[in-house]
Amino acid sequence: MSSNTDIVAIPVRHYGRWVGAVVVLGLLGSLLYAFSQGNIDWAVTWEYFDAPTIVQGMWNTLLISVLAQALGIVLGVVAAVMRKSANPVTSGVAWLYIWFFRGTPVLLQLLLWYNLSLVFPTIWIPFAGSVATNTVMTPFLAALLGLGINEGAYMAEIVRAGINSVDEGQTEAAQALGLSPARTMRRVVLPQAMRVIIPPTGNEFINMLKTSSLAYAVQFGELLYSATSIYSANLAVVELLFTVSLWYLVLTSVFSVFQAFLERRFARGSSRNLPGPTVLGRVLSNLRPGRKP
Amino acid sequence: MTQAPGTDVPMVEAKGVRKHFGHLEVLKGIDLTVSNGEVMCLVGPSGSGKSTFLRCINHLERLDGGYLRVRGKLVGFEEKHGKLYEMRERQVAAQRQDIGMVFQRFNLFPHMTAVQNVMEAPVQVRGESRSAARERAIGLLERVGLADKAAVYPAMLSGGQQQRVAIARALAMEPALMLFDEPTSALDPELVGEVLDVMRALAQGGMTMVVVTHEMGFAREVGDSLVFMDGGVVVESGPPREVLANPQHVRTQAFLSKVL
């Protein structure tokens, strides 16, 4: 064998993987068979997949998730920066916010916002004067406040971890140049914290797509609520739950791809090895012999 | 007590400066004076307090005792009616504009290119226009021999190049005083020279400099004074050639016998 030719060797055979794949496929097949024989009218599940009410619910789910996540990000950054403040009042307020909204269930918070009129029958709004709380606190607003403010408390911890990940030398260098604390945060620390903040934020959003289903409890017309409104009339309960399951899977799959892209993009420069390919890609490359994962 | 800045006012005047971290007393009463245009080298074993003292000069560390004036003005404190008042962060930030600092680990902003690093403080702190700041920044990069690296991010620069950008960044605020905290300690040996060359040129241009360093050759050649610190006190000081050639104190002798 000459030393300047490529090595030609028979790769290690992973017979166990083939056996495992057959077992998994067998189990999956029998599960599918069981459901196909069960008391479910699959035709109904498909029929409602693109029903106007369901599609409208899907858009509402997307809308409330995007808006609540955006609100959460803004509140999270503000709360995280406040927590780092030297002012005990400022950091105390942020602590209290995080403590309360992380410490109580989000479903309960949604119900509290929705029932605010029981506590304050009228509220005063600048330029509009005193109005009945019921007319302001629509299902949409209750869902937005409930989900967004709750999310802010979680985002605050993510942003705080990001801020803490930035080397102290960066702050010192900015201070030594005469940058004020606010500018140091905005120009030097936060941009560098983004690398740590953005990947888990994508994760939070995927979570939000599903958590937003709790807004059905405040009559907000998102996916799950749309399904309940249909099945309460036609009684095809499980069929419609499967319909919206499919929609949730579509939404989360789309954003998971986006999330994987974000993670790879923000890992650049910080690690010698890029994160590996996606699960599907790995399964395919593993099953092909002679390829390293 | 405060004097108007003038030629007779020393650049840095430290009297009885003390600093402790918890129970550990790091500075036990430092008396030092740095004149205008002087290059002072602080040497000593690690843990001797030399970096801490340097960081007291621009109030990155708050003094616990004594006082420290830069150009006649207390750093980090205000004196009113015989009482000391702690300054607000914003006021301290304003004071720091006149004091440039170069760190051991460069601390360039990794999300900004070399020229953006240099422009940052003039634009953000002094409100200079971007175009004027960029022009000056390019000039400063030229001065440290890196005009061709203006658009490059720090990660793509060698340690020596990063440190030269860091020097240009500090110079962009046109400081009256430059502090160097072991500027070559994190560099590969073959990169030390290029940074020392820039510092030498700066000293020849008349910049007042306080340099914490282990480079005895630089101290001998460029320094106007050499201060040997150990255990939080100044053990010995004087013209570098004299101190290095003929150390008086046992501790100085012991230290120099290890590093020379």
pLDDT in tens, A239-271: 999 999 999 999 999 999 988 888 777 765 444
Task: Give me the residue from B100, B107, B170 closest to A169, CB to CB.
Answer: B107
Q: Among A88-97, A124-133, B88-97, name the most confident range.
A: A88-97
C-alpha to C-alpha distance for A54 and B88, rounded to whole angstroms: 58
Cβ contacts (< 8 Å) between A177 and chain B: which residues?
96-97, 120-121, 125, 169-170, 173
Domain boundaries, chain A: 42-286
Token pair in block for residue B190: 């073959």
What mean pLDDT comes out for the span A168-183?
95
Q: Give residue A221's pLDDT.
A: 93
End-to-end CA distance of chain A: 27
Identify the band that residue A293 occupies on the pLDDT scale cut at 50, 70 and 90. Answer: very low
Query: Of B224, B229, B216, nearest to B54 (Cα)?
Result: B229
Q: Give residue A136's pLDDT.
A: 84
Identify the sign of the CA torsion A278, A283, A286, A289.
negative
Identify the band that residue A96 occupies on the pLDDT scale cut at 50, 70 and 90. Answer: very high
Q: Give residue A279's pLDDT.
A: 61
Q: Give residue A269's pLDDT.
A: 47
Which amino acid is present at A70? A
For residue A225, is pLDDT > 90?
yes
Chain A contacts in chain B segment 105-124 (CB below 8 A): 105, 107-111, 120-121, 124
Cβ contacts (< 8 Å) between A269 and chain B: which residues?
155
Query: Of A53, A108, A55, A67, nearest to A209 (Cα)?
Result: A67
Q: Are strands B39-43 and B225-230 parallel, antiparallel or unpaired?
A: parallel
Q: Give residue A123's pLDDT.
A: 85
A47-A53-A54 Cα angle (round to 5) = 60
Chain B contacts in chain A segment 245-274 (CB below 8 A): 269
For residue A8, is pLDDT > 90?
no
Task: Give me the residue from A175, A187, A192 closest to B96, CB to CB.
Answer: A175
Intervals of chain B under pLDDT 70? 1-7
A97-A197-A213 Cα angle (round to 5) = 65
Q: Give residue B2's pLDDT.
A: 44
Hey, are the CB atoms on A173 and B108 less than 8 Å from each other? yes
**Hey, of A90, A166, A171, A177, which one would you mutate to test binding to chain B, going by the most B CBs within 10 A of its CB?**
A177
Q: What is the DSSP letter of B2?
A: P
**3-state helix/strand/coil string of chain A:** CCCCCCCCCCCCCCHHHHHHHHHHHHHHHHHHHHHHHCCCCHHHHHHCCCCHHHHHHHHHHHHHHHHHHHHHHHHHHHHHHHHCCCCHHHHHHHHHHHHHHHHCCHHHHHHHHHCHHHHCCEEEECCCEEEEHHHHCCHHHHHHHHHHHHHHHHHHHHHHHHHHHCCHHHHHHHHHCCCCHHHHHHHHHHHHHHHHHHHHHHHHHHHHHHHHHHHHHHCCCCHHHHHHHHHHHHCCHHHHHHHHHHHHHHHHHHHHHHHHHHHHHHHCCCCCCCCCCCHHHHHHHHHCCCCCC
Whether the CB of B149 is below 8 Å from some CB of chain A: the reply is no
Token pair in block for residue B29: 């009463």
Token pair in block for residue A171: 């702050």
**A42-286 sits in which CATH class?**
mainly alpha
The ipTM of this complex is 0.91
C-alpha to C-alpha distance for B108 and B72, rounded to whole angstroms: 30
Whether the CB of A177 is below 8 Å from some CB of chain B: the reply is yes
Task: Give me the residue from B124, B155, B169 closest to A269, CB to CB.
Answer: B155
B118 and B140 Cβ atoms separated by less than 8 Å: yes
For residue A124, is pLDDT > 90?
no
Hey, are the CB atoms on A181 and B89 less than 8 Å from each other? yes
Q: Give residue A289's pLDDT.
A: 55
Which amino acid is present at B211? V
Task: Give me the residue from B101, B108, B155 closest to A176, CB to CB.
Answer: B101
Identify the band that residue A10 occupies on the pLDDT scale cut at 50, 70 and 90. Answer: confident
B138-177 residue pLDDT tens: 999 999 999 999 999 999 999 999 999 999 999 999 999 9
Identify the band that residue A36 occupies on the pLDDT scale cut at 50, 70 and 90. Answer: confident
Q: Give residue B31's pLDDT.
A: 96
Task: Give me the residue from A173, A178, A179 closest to B107, CB to CB.
Answer: A173
